[in-house]
Amino acid sequence: MEITLKRVSKQYKEQAAIGNLSLSLREGEIACVLGPSGAGKTTLLQILAGLTSYEGEVLGRPERISYVFQSARLFPNLTVRQNLEFVLPKSEHKHIASALAEVGLAGKENAYPHALSGGQAQRVAFLRAFLYPSELILMDEPFSSLDTALKIRLVELFVRLWNKERRTVVFVTHDAEEAAMMSQRTLFLRDGKLIADFSDDSPLPRQYGAVSDYKSRILARILDEE
């Protein structure tokens, strides 16, 4: 089911974070949201999640939504297994061990978040997002604190999880490589308005550093804002 925003606006005091925005998100697509600081990217995610008030209409918003942040935001007093159990019905707990093995975390079930590396914690966060039976996954710069090699591995992992059960994904980034590697669509915001919307349906994930018309268009938009 499509998610449609109709003339959506969000005002913070004197400033419009989102201004009269209309767009439709196709079911099962990965869309990235780019734009300079203050463009309204995170506000858009919050509106899609139903976490903030707004004017206008959002049609087709699913009841079950996963949200992945820049940091993993695991419960520090719960083990990895308990963090995953938190979003699952009891009947599904038996699948946790195999799911952790699939993302390279076999044997980490009883570890606490403080004992995980940043990359391991983010893998748990991605797994939690997919294990929860959501129809929409929202991500706010989930790779921004990672080094390049780890970022590439986690993008590949995320796409592998997505390919198994294609959920609608909207993620915010400032990185043209992230957008080019894992998005099928780029939404570019400026001052809360949608100023560019273009797509590439080639297979995911795409190679890091590869040259393409899609990536060139993303870079051109970013450089235009400098």
Query: In the sheet that 3-12 helps form, which strands lie side by side, from edge to edge?
Result: 15-25, 3-12, 55-59
Residues 44 and 98 in one domain: no
Residues 56 and 158 in one domain: yes
Residue 83 included in any domain:
yes
Q: How many domains does the chain have?
A: 2
Q: DSSP readout, 1-31?
A: --EEEEEEEEEETTEEEEEEEEEEE-TT-EE
pLDDT band, very low/low/confident/very high, at 1 (cuts 50, 70, 90): confident
Residues 127 and 143 in one domain: no
Query: pLDDT by residue (tens digit) across 77-129?
Result: 999 999 999 999 999 999 999 999 989 999 999 999 999 999 999 999 999 99
Burial 36-49 (b: 16+ CB within 10 A, else e): eeebbbbbbbbbbb
Residue 43 included in any domain:
yes
Query: Measured between alpha carbons, how far is residue 154 from residues 2, 16, 33, 106, 122 in Å?
Result: 27, 34, 19, 16, 8
Residue 106 included in any domain:
yes
Paired with 33 in beta bridges are 172, 187
Query: pLDDT by residue (tens digit) across 144-200?
Result: 878 899 889 889 999 999 999 899 999 999 999 999 999 999 999 999 999 999 999
